[in-house]
Homo-oligomer: A and B are copies of this chain.
Amino acid sequence: MPENDNNPLEMRDAFGQTLVELGAAYPNMVMLDADLNTSSKAVYFKKAYPDRFIQVGIAEQNLFGISAGLALTGFIPFPSTFAVFAARRALDQIAISICYPNLNVKIPGSYVGVPTSRAGASHNCIEDIAVMRALPNMKVADAGDNADLRAIMHTAMKTEGPVYFRVTRYTLPVLFGPGHTFAWGKGELLREGADVTLFGTGLMTGKCMAAAEILAKDGIPAEVIHLASIKPIDRALIAQSVRKTGCAVTAENATIVGGFGAAVAEALGDVYPVPLRRIGVQDQWLNSGGVDALFELHKMQPPHIAAAARAAIQAKLSPEAMKGPGS
């Protein structure tokens, strides 16, 4: 079942469909669920391959431990739960039972960030990028659209070792054509521009594209780079772009502390330091609210990205203006 780019699905449905595709190609793939399959859409796999679907109940520690055991007997497990429960409830199991022995487990983190919205702070996952990135051996990705998610999942299956990828409960605008592929550590230049680079990951890349339009109207050419692969990250492309533009903005559907923005900041410090503005949840709990209201509240909409881009340009032009709020 290929995704239908003309009538975009919610990303979680694209996730479910891709699970079915992969299940056909990999007879040793098994899906595990902790009582959330019709929400996460692991249910697609359950319906297609009931014999390879394992329900563990509401027990996330066990979910990941069992997955380790299945990987050790030759299966490729997809333990599925909400991202908060992967990143927080079962972190020790993911770290030691899975990452440490580098087991072949693919972990989808469902219900990430703002679009989880009304469920509130305990469920609107903002810390998974920071947390998963900190684990040695773990690879981390956040898809920009459904085609990207599908490509990530296909690549994940061909990658030996643990992978964490985010699945959003949201319908994303189409960014990529049908032939789209994904490779670890490779970013995608989506739009060229000379004045500032907008680095997006996950659903925020679409908002970066919209921000670039806003900036273009003001005569500011912004470059947009999509970095679905957060770990490893495309340091070469980052360096190449900021060497031209001289300043950057990151945008992620997550906390700006330690996550994607930090990954770019680390890379910039390593390869080419420039002023950086980070868009995302500003170290607050992501409480309940409507999706758009939350994007607005946390200043994650295209106009906010555009404003951050202007601030970055300003900082580049007048180093004295770089004194941020802290100085």
**Chain A interface residues toward B at CB < 8 A:** 84-85, 87-89, 91-92, 95-96, 100, 121-122, 126-127, 130-131, 133-137, 231, 234-236, 238-240, 248, 255-259, 261-278, 283-285, 319, 322-327
Copies in the complex: 2
A239 lies within 8 A of B323 (CB) = yes
Task: Determine the chain B residues whose CB is within 8 A of the CB of A127 once the complex forms.
Answer: 95, 131, 134-135
Question: Known interface pairs A88-B92, A92-B85, A127-B135. Does A278 touch B285 (Cβ–Cβ under 8 Å)?
Answer: no
B92 lies within 8 A of A121 (CB) = no
Roughly how many angstroms separate A308 CA and B68 CA in the complex, as a whole number?
A: 38
Question: Known interface pairs A127-B95, A326-B271. Does A258 touch B133 (Cβ–Cβ under 8 Å)?
Answer: yes
Task: Determine the chain B residues whose CB is within 8 A of the CB of A130 once the complex forms.
Answer: 130-131, 133-134, 258
Question: Known interface pairs A235-B327, A258-B134. Does A273 touch B276 (Cβ–Cβ under 8 Å)?
Answer: yes
Show 24 residue pairs from A and B whose CB-CB distance is below 8 angstroms, ordered by the A residue: A85-B92, A89-B91, A91-B91, A91-B131, A100-B121, A127-B131, A127-B135, A130-B130, A231-B257, A235-B324, A235-B327, A239-B327, A248-B269, A256-B266, A262-B266, A264-B269, A265-B265, A267-B324, A268-B273, A270-B277, A270-B278, A271-B322, A272-B323, A273-B274
Roughly how many angstroms separate A255 CA and B236 CA in the complex, as a whole number?
A: 22
Min Cβ gap A274→B in Å is: 5
Roughly how many angstroms separate A91 CA and B278 CA in the complex, as a whole number?
A: 25
Having A239-B327, A270-B326, one finds 6 other A-B pairs with CB under 8 Å, namely A127-B135, A238-B326, A239-B324, A269-B276, A270-B325, A273-B275
Min Cβ gap A77→B in Å is: 20
B100 lies within 8 A of A122 (CB) = yes
Roughly how many angstroms separate A136 CA and B131 CA in the complex, as a whole number?
A: 13
A265 lies within 8 A of B269 (CB) = yes
A89 lies within 8 A of B92 (CB) = yes
B326 lies within 8 A of A100 (CB) = no
Q: Which 7 A-B pairs have the closest CB atoms?
A: A235-B326, A269-B276, A273-B273, A88-B92, A130-B134, A271-B324, A265-B265
Min Cβ gap A35→B in Å is: 16
B265 lies within 8 A of A136 (CB) = no
Min Cβ gap A42→B in Å is: 21
